[in-house]
Amino acid sequence: MLRLRDRLLLENYGLIKLRKRALSPAAALLFDAMKRLGVPNGGAEQGDAAS
C-alpha cells in the first residue's frame, strides 16, 4: 500500500469488450475488477459493446 499525502483524482475511463474476441489476460483482470466493484457499464449487457 502506498501512503500518499495528496488525494489522487482520476478522470473517467471505460473498457470496450468485443463479443467475439477474447480479452488479453491484463484486460480480463481489469474488466473483472470493474464488475466486482460494481462500476456501471453504460447499460451495455455484460459489458459487451460490439460484435
Ramachandran angles phi, psi of 39, nearest 5°: -70, 125
- For the stretch 1-51, pLDDT in tens is 778 788 877 777 777 788 899 999 998 998 888 888 776 655 454 444 444
Beta bridge mates, 48: 17
pTM of the full structure: 0.47
**Residue 20 has what pLDDT?**
92
| Rg of the chain in Å (alpha carbons) | 14
Cα angle value 41/43/49 (rounded, 5°): 70
**Residue 41 has what pLDDT?**
58
**Residue 6 has what pLDDT?**
81
